Amino acid sequence: MSRNAKIAAGATAAGLVLLFWLPWWVSLLIVLGVPAAYFALDPGQRSRLRRVSRKQLGR
């Protein structure tokens, strides 16, 4: 399974869990808000975000 497929599968699973755990409109805001925030970045910020590792995000 490719990296993008794993991310998509994880996001789908997380969305389904959130749908049952939270009200539907909160789940919808989270599922649609995260990709919208990513695409709101300019191309330079997106490429920098893809290069950074998880360890560096906590700094």
For residue 23, the SS3 value is coil
How many residues does the structure list for the chain? 59
Angle at CA 30, nearest 5°, toward 29 and 33? 75
The interaxial angle of helices 24-40 and 3-21, nearest 10 deg, is: 150
Q: Is the confidence at residue 7, as pLDDT, over 70?
A: yes
Is the pLDDT at 44 greater than 80, yes or no?
A: yes
Specify the pLDDT at position 49.
78
pLDDT of residue 54: 59
Say what the pTM is.
0.44
How many whole angstroms separate alpha carbon 19 and alpha carbon 29?
A: 11
Query: Rounded mean pLDDT of the chain?
Result: 77
More confident residue, 31 or 53: 31
